[in-house]
Amino acid sequence: MVTNLESRQIAENVRMRMVGHANANVHRIYSHDDWSAITSAINGLPSISA
């Protein structure tokens, strides 16, 4: 649920209240990287050639 809320750009403090997390460290454990978004961002970078 936390990852889904994060992907919808819900603010961290709102997500924390929604799921009952008392601190950001605990909250971040339940937030997982969206690898498709990371891959997309990397693929969008310009080529670097030496």
| pLDDT tens for each residue of 17-45 | 999 999 988 888 888 777 777 888 889 99
What is the domain range of residue 13? 2-42
Q: Tell me, what amino acid is at 42?
A: I
Residue 49 lies in a domain: no
Residue 14 clears pLDDT 90, i.e. is over it: yes
Domain count, the chain: 1
Cα-Cα-Cα-Cα torsion 27, 28, 34, 39, nearest 10 degrees, comes to: 160
Q: Note the pLDDT of residue 36.
A: 79
Residue 11 lies in a domain: yes
Residue 13 lies in a domain: yes
